[in-house]
């Protein structure tokens, strides 16, 4: 890409304004469940539940809460506390929890770097696609460990944007990838586009011994029309629309580049041969 393309722009923080986000864009977030986003955690969660059905689980950076609600369904005698730094998402998260029939769940605002809980409070502390958006991943993991009970688990799954591959390899899709990568690295003062591959290193820096950590990998893949509509629709309605687009333009991203990206995503959604995959890194840390 030319030097003046989107990847070279220095964007300010671009957290999504949910009041300005089309409802159609929600599906990219609300399709996430414990089953399709935290499968690596579920066997260990079942073991904890077998030993003590009243599992206390904290979901950090819960967003719309679909993962939180489906985790709550798996521990009916336990309780899920879902926190997010953006209080504006809580009303929607409550609606999602109700739609799943999850009553053993509560929501509140909270920052992963300063969780509003005492030491040794939870049996499980979980986050999904959260560490990538901050600049102190090790500190965040230490804070998650702080509020975890001895013998409990910290679980994290993070995408590795730098591993993303797609077809067809059109110039517009390359620009869209570079733009998405830029949004990640600009978010929260400096996110990380290679989080998935660095999770184990961050976990070790946070203090646990290697024997306490179980790393794993999985893959996001978008190959079927419904999945492509959901993922591509998220890019069209969140990353390339509304106030995120406005801030990108103010930061110097060209309107014509953004329009080219939109057309590339639309073509990608419609093409039968279009696919996209991204590696996901995972860690389970036993405290």
- 238 vs 99, residue with greater confidence: 99
State pLDDT tens for residues 167-223. 999 999 999 999 999 888 876 567 899 999 999 999 999 999 999 999 999 999 999
The per-residue pLDDT for range 66-108, each reduced to its tens digit, is 999 999 999 999 999 999 999 999 999 999 999 999 999 999 9
1 vs 89, more confident: 89
pLDDT score of 4 more than 70:
no
Mean pLDDT of 21-34: 75
Q: What is the pLDDT of residues 260-272, one digit of tens each?
A: 999 999 999 999 9
Query: Is the pLDDT confidence value at 165 over 80?
Result: yes
pLDDT at 29: 83
pLDDT digits (tens, 9 = 90+) for 120-154: 999 999 999 999 988 899 999 999 999 999 999 99
Q: What is residue 6's predicted lDDT score, i.e. its pLDDT?
A: 40
Looking at residue 188, its pLDDT comes to 59
pLDDT of res. 190: 73
pLDDT at 239 exceeding the cut of 90? no
Quick one: pLDDT at residue 186?
A: 77
pLDDT in tens, 47-58: 999 999 999 999
Q: What is the DSSP string of the chain?
A: --TTSGGG---------GGGS-GGGGHHHHT--HHHH-TTTHHHHHHHHHH-S--EEEEET-TT-HHHHHHHHH-TTSEEEEEES-GGGHHHHHHHHHHHT--SEEEEE-BTTB-SS-TT-EEEEEEES-GGGSS-HHHHHHHHHHTEEEEEEEEEEEE-GGG-EEES--HHHHHHHHHHHHHHHHGGGS--TTHHHHHHHHHHHTS--GGGEEEEEEEEEE-SHHHHHHHHHHIIIIITSHHHHHHHHHTT--HHHHHHHHHHHHHHHH-TT-EEEEEEEEEEEE-
pLDDT score recorded for residue 16: 42
pLDDT value at position 246? 86
Amino acid 23: pLDDT = 58
Question: Which CATH number applies to 6-286: 3.30.420.40, 3.30.360.10, 3.40.50.150, 3.30.930.10?
Answer: 3.40.50.150
All structural domains of the chain with their residue ranges: 6-286
What is the model's pLDDT at position 91? 94
């Amino acid at each position: 890409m030319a030097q003046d393309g989107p990847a070279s722009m220095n964007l300010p923080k671009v957290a999504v304004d949910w009041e300005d986000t089309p409802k159609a864009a929600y599906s990219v977030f609300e399709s996430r469940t414990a089953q399709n986003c935290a499968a690596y955690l579920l066997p260990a969660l079942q073991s904890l539940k077998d030993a003590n059905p009243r599992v206390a689980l904290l979901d950090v950076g819960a967003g719309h809460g679909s993962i939180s609600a489906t985790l709550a369904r798996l521990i009916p005698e336990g309780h899920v506390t879902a926190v997010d730094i953006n209080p504006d998402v809580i009303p929607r998260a409550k609606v999602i929890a109700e739609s799943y029939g999850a009553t053993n769940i509560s929501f509140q605002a909270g920052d992963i770097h300063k969780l509003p809980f005492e030491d040794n409070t939870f049996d499980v502390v979980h986050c999904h696609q959260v560490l990538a958006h901050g600049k102190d991943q090790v500190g965040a993991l230490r804070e998650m460990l702080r509020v975890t009970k001895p013998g409990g688990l910290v679980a994290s799954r993070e995408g590795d944007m730098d591993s993303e591959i797609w077809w067809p390899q059109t110039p517009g899709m390359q620009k869209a990838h570079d733009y998405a990568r830029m949004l990640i690295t600009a978010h929260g003062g400096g996110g990380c586009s290679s989080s998935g591959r660095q999770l184990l290193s961050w976990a070790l820096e946070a203090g646990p011994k290697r024997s306490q950590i179980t790393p794993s990998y999985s893959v996001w893949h978008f190959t079927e029309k419904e999945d492509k509509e959901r993922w591509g629709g998220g890019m069209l309605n969140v990353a390339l629309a509304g106030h995120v687009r406005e801030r990108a333009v103010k930061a110097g991203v060209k309107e014509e580049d953004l329009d080219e990206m939109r057309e590339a995503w639309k073509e990608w959604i419609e093409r039968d041969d279009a696919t996209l995959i991204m590696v996901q890194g995972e860690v389970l840390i036993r405290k």
